[in-house]
Structure 1
Amino acid sequence: MSEILQKQAPWVTLPLAARELARYNIDIALSETRFGDNGQLTKTGGGYTFFWYGRSAEERREAGVGFAIKTTHIPKLASIPEDINNRLMKMQLPLGRYTCVMLVSAYAPMMTNPDEVKDKFYEELDSLISSVPQSEKLIILGDFNACVCTDHQAWHNITGKHGVGKCNSNRLLLRTCASHDLNITNTMFCLPNRNKTIWTHLRSRHWHQIDYVITKVKGRQDMRLTKALDRPPPHHLQIQLLHPTKEKASG
């Protein structure tokens, strides 16, 4: 959805996004955005409510994150999506009486950013992951601007056998996943490359896998499929089929 949610005003672009989400019957979606400040918008007749957080109107809009949620699901939420900063946003979704899943929308700095900017993002992501109770499910979704490669033996349980390409110099994502026992689910499913890669470099025309769906290793069985849908470049739409188990109360 990122090519839709760019610099135009929310009331211009969000109806287009709503139609695209309804086409695929998506329940919850997220994306990096270029909207200024923070906001919430429900499009009458569109079926979705949008939440976003970005930089102030005076700043260059290089970062911003958001959620799109079917409006009928809003009353089920424990609380509305909460922004951590303009690159991280979280939302708690109840699963029955005893289980919740924490959804995190993430937009990592690009490789061209200074190291201190990238380090700061992963430090804040690390703190957010650490704040989630061990009993709570966790799903992190977003654009990490990182390639995690096909070397699943070096990153056992973190990546699977079906990654794409070579690992770039940004190993902060892999290290963060390793320190929290997280699994990058995109690498777990055997699919054609066109259904694994998300973004194409407009000059080289090479496709890359940089958007990821990440979960706790023990919650990996909840993930039924992570797949990129065929769309015009530069960005594909990625879907995650989720069937979470509902744990019963102990004792």
Structure 2
Amino acid sequence: MLEYHSGVGFMIKTSIASTLESLPTGHSDRIMSLRLPLKNKEYATILSVYGPTLQAKSEEKDRFSSELRHVMRRTPPADKMIILGDFNARVGQDADAWRGLLGKHGVGNCNDNGRLLLEICMELQLAITNIIFQQKDKLKTTWMHPRSRHWHLIDYILVCQRDLRDVLHTRVMPSAECHTDHRLGRCRIRIRPKPITRKRGPSRKKYNHSRLQSHEVKAVFQASLQNKFENDSSQIDPSPELLWDQLKIALPEDI
């Protein structure tokens, strides 16, 4: 009989739940995904994650990392990616060493789980939003150690680095009662639709018609054009389309 010591889930607003095209998917007892439809046939994939504790066996940590990588690689590349959860990891404050992943407002020191999380973020091009905003530590730390009574940041909200500009603010809500030893984290995101790319037609050939101001160039051009038309043995068709095509072919390349 399997015994689980972990679990994840989603709490979804009713008005949002009615728009879902499919139910949330449980990939393991530590990872669950939800694909939220947006405007213009775009989607946001949200992952709910619970990482192994620092005391967990290395095999369990490796399995979690492998599952997370696998789920993210199966996510459509065009989707907005948001990862929420308790990673049981401390990523520290070394923003210079982990440029693009960490902000300049970290808390505490990095531990082994934190280094593992940072390696995953670097590989998958993720950014940690919790410490990119300057605010008091009590608005960043999420969990208090039961013995030392010190507050730590171990719960994170991650986004793809390309979408970091969409994040307006990430902070902890200290007054929220969640019946847990963790503080509630909130991230405000403005999801910007992708710009509509318009199809461009074939590039048009440009001619330096200013050269025709020279009488010598003009004379050579007229003679060359007249010669090409006289040597054209194709059947003469009075239609404007064919005449225009013949003219384009006859025009010299150096004009």
TM-score by length of 1: 0.74
Partner of 1:128: 71
Partner of 2:48: 105
Partner of 1:207: 151
Distance 1:131 1:219 in 2: 18
Q: Which moved more, 1:76-85 or 1:136-145?
A: 76-85
1:76 aligns with 2:23: no
Residue in structure 2 matching 1:234, options 165, 181, 188: 181
SS at 1:122's partner residue? helix
SS at 2:105's partner residue? coil
Partner of 1:185: 129
What value does the CA root-mean-square deviation take over the aligned residues?
1.5
1:174 aligns with 2:118: yes
| AA of the residue aligned to 2:29 | N
Post-superposition shift, 1:68?
A: 0.5
Distance 1:76 1:96 in 2: 11
Distance 1:70 1:80 in 2: 14
Identity value in percent: 38
Bigger fraction of residues in helix: 2
Q: Is the 8 A contact 1:162 1:189 kept in 2?
A: yes
Distance 1:250 1:122 in 2: 36
SS at 1:69's partner residue? coil
Post-superposition shift, 1:235?
A: 1.6
SS at 2:72's partner residue? helix
| AA of the residue aligned to 2:159 | T
| AA of the residue aligned to 1:207 | W
| AA of the residue aligned to 1:242 | I
Q: Is the 8 A contact 1:98 1:249 kept in 2?
A: no
Unaligned runs of 5+ in 2: 199-255
Q: Is the 8 A contact 1:98 1:247 kept in 2?
A: no
| AA of the residue aligned to 1:110 | T
Rg: which structure is higher?
2
Unaligned runs of 5+ in 1: 1-57
Q: Is the 8 A contact 2:4 2:29 kept in 1?
A: no
Post-superposition shift, 1:249?
A: 4.6
Post-superposition shift, 1:78?
A: 2.5
| AA of the residue aligned to 1:93 | L
Partner of 1:23: none
Distance 1:173 1:212 in 2: 10
Distance 1:83 1:199 in 2: 25
Distance 1:241 1:228 in 2: 12
SS at 1:106's partner residue? strand
Residue in structure 1 matching 2:59, options 116, 128, 136: 116
CA displacement 1:159-185 (0-9 Å, x = unmatched): 110111000022111000000111001
Q: Is the 8 A contact 2:102 2:127 kept in 1?
A: yes
Bigger fraction of residues in strand: 1
Partner of 1:219: 163
Partner of 2:194: 247
Distance 1:165 1:77 in 2: 39
Runs of 4+ in 1 over 2 A off after TM superposition: 58-61, 231-234, 248-251
**Aligned residue pair count:** 194
Distance 1:177 1:235 in 2: 23
Residue in structure 2 matching 1:91, options 27, 30, 34: 34
Partner of 1:37: none
Distance 1:59 1:206 in 2: 34
TM-score by length of 2: 0.73
| AA of the residue aligned to 1:118 | K
Distance 1:61 1:136 in 2: 31
